Amino acid sequence: MRTFRSSVLALAVLVSACKGGPTPAPSITPPPAPAPAGPVRLTLVGTNDFHGWVMPHRATLPDGQKVEQGGAALFASYVARLREDNPGGVLLVDGGDLFQGTLASNLGEGAIVVDVYNLLGYTAVAIGNHEFDYGPVGPGPVATRPDEDPLGALKARVAQAKFPFLSANVREKDGQPPAWLGNDGTTVVTVKGVKVGLLGLSTLSTPQTTNPANVASLRFESLADAAKQAAKSLRGQGAEVVVAVAHAGGKCTDLENPRDTSGCERDDGEIYAVLEALPKGAVDAVVAGHTHQVMGHFFGDVPVIETTGLARSFGVVDLFVDPATHRVLPERTRIQAAIPVCGAVDATLKSCDPLKLRDAKDVRLVPATFLGRPVAPDARVEALVAPAEARVEEEQRRPVGVETQARMPQVYEGESALGNLIADAMREAARSDAAVMNAGGIRADLPQGPLTFGKLYEILPFDNTLAVLELSADELRRFLALAYGGRKGVFAVSGLEVTLGACPGPERFQGVTLPGGKPLKAKATYRVAVPDFLLRGGDGVGPLTSTLPRERINLLQAQDLREVLTAYGRAHGNALKPPALGRVHLVKPAGPCADAKP
């Protein structure tokens, strides 16, 4: 069928011919050339060190106002806004330590956390050291029977997850990836037509920062070597973008200029060595974790984000992929570091952090917004978490029959009444000569007043049991030298007095005596009560504890440290009183510590 346009052209030609003139060529305007495709935007959303915080942090301000910070239901609203802003272009990943730290998580060995992550649509997570804490399925933190699998609880969570757990540097003893993970530490996904490779990394300190018995079948290889190999493999599979999700981090104090890394502290951050070892272009972004410190910086062209964890904030990296070269355009990359998760904020401070608001005057809470729209808890997540929250509230309210006479704060880098109290309780329960309690095992302040199980659990969340070591005087000195020399805080002692240098480091331990300065007896054997975490080599004491013969170890499996502290209070008039300080003597250094920051 002839079109109207062709008919008009034919008529024009005919008229021209009849007039005897030349026949003009038809004038046809070519269609415009298609505009070149713009870069593809990928939005990388990173969390880390969630530690079971499916519920928000709640606090009451001095004026009676109640504030909430974080939590899975509110975070879900932020994720929804990001997905509306970049449909189909969001990757949600986590830097590890999903579990351990709250009753909601621990009562079900992390099951509620995986349920929440499934609902939120996580793409992948790194394996953190605390992923191994639960040991076998069931209440025991370590396997005690041949039919118990030390990795049973984690395997159950991996099977439950709709996303992969990744670690390219965790291997079986034969060097192969653990079969139960179902991957080699990497995965490839397609986002908005772009192939994205993800690789996971786990901190080398895992055997010292979980119960070593649970990871005895595994080995933890070099993060840098594993990252290089995994990135190369992913590029070989056609990955146009490679993202490392690492349970290894750092700390950068200055967030004003993401290109300025001069304020990043290098002495306690595994991620720096990884970044320095990777060839240029090996990875395009890193979501870090483990150190609970904020990062939002470029190292070269590689953006790195990390938050303080506990579901209080998240980070965002926007990557732009050139459709012609299929590579990231580093000059277009954008970082948003540690975006707070708030339902309501102070009108002036724009914060919901209870620590900031407690000292503020005239706090006026207004609804929080994100990307131009208000945020509110997601009803689906609230419904999912509700049964776990109800169970937690019931446990938290349960009194343990003991009253605390005075508030005792948690102190990590110094002697504390709370640490001394726990050490005293351990020593009495074990009927030992001395006791040593690691600083990292105490996680919250002990409040004044009637003690509930919930408060007790916040203080001692790990299911550590009591153990007794029989040590010679020299072995006891070596044990303490390892404990205090490993940069794991100031351990609490009972039945001993220790002298320490003020500067952290391998030479920090300077001596030990019995109370009152009485020297240890050279040929004596001392019974020392410790958490089983230390017996199994945690916090760096393994070089000593691993050499002890079985007959000099008594593992009191029936008594966890929460029960030990409660029993101690009941035996002392149903009261917990702060012991006097003076067991740890710090020697002032002649000059500044070698690693002190200006």
- CATH value at residue 433: 3.90.780.10
Q: How crowded is residue 546: how many other Cβ atoms within 10 Å of its Cβ?
A: 11
What CA–CA distance (Å, rounded) separates 285 from 297? 10
* 486 confidence band (pLDDT: 50, 70, 90): confident
Structural domain boundaries, residue 521: 400-587
pLDDT digits (tens, 9 = 90+) for 234-251: 999 999 999 999 999 998
**What per-residue confidence (pLDDT) applies to 203?**
96
Reading the block at residue 94, the tokens are 């986590």
In a domain, 541, yes or no: yes
| Span 300-354, pLDDT tens digits | 999 999 999 999 999 999 999 999 999 999 999 999 999 999 999 999 999 999 8
How far apart are alpha carbons 421 and 578 in whole angstroms? Answer: 7
Q: Does pLDDT of 13 surpass 50?
A: no
For residue range 420-467, list pLDDT tens digits in order: 999 999 999 999 999 999 999 998 999 999 999 989 988 998 878 899
* Residue where a domain stops, chosen among 357, 389, 421: 389
pLDDT in tens, 575-592: 999 999 999 999 987 777
Distance from chain centroid for Cα 593: 29
**Does the residue 34 lie in any domain?**
no
Inter-residue long-range contacts of 255-258, CB under 8 Å, 24+ positions, other chains counted:
255/294, 255/296, 255/337, 255/338, 258/296, 258/297, 258/298, 258/303, 258/335, 258/337
Residues 6+ apart with CB under 8 A from 462: 100, 133, 141, 441, 531, 533, 561
Q: Is the pLDDT of residue 35 over 90?
A: no
Q: Do residues 107 and 225 both lie within one domain?
A: yes
Per residue, what are the HEC states of 229-242? HHHHHHHHCCCCEE
Q: Are residues 293 and 252 in contact, defined by beta-carbon separation less than 8 angstroms? A: yes
Model confidence at 514: pLDDT above 50: yes
Dihedral sign (CA 361, 365, 370, 372): negative
Query: Does pTM top 0.85 for this prediction?
Result: no
* Tally of structural domains, the chain: 2
Judging by DSSP bridges, how do beta strands 509-513 and 497-501 pair with one another?
antiparallel
Distances (CA, A) of 417 to 168, 405, 527: 42, 12, 23
pLDDT tens-digit readout, 193-207: 999 999 999 999 898
User: Do 292 and 350 fall into the same domain?
Assistant: yes
Could you tell me if 363 and 448 lie in one domain? no
**Cα–Cα distance for residue pair 47/399, rounded to 1 Å:** 34
Q: How confident is the model over 142-152, as a mean pLDDT? A: 92
470 and 330 within one domain = no
Q: What gap in Å lies between CA 326 and CA 284, rounded to an integer?
A: 12
208-223 pLDDT, tens digit each? 788 888 999 999 999 9
What is the residue-averaged pLDDT of the chain? 91
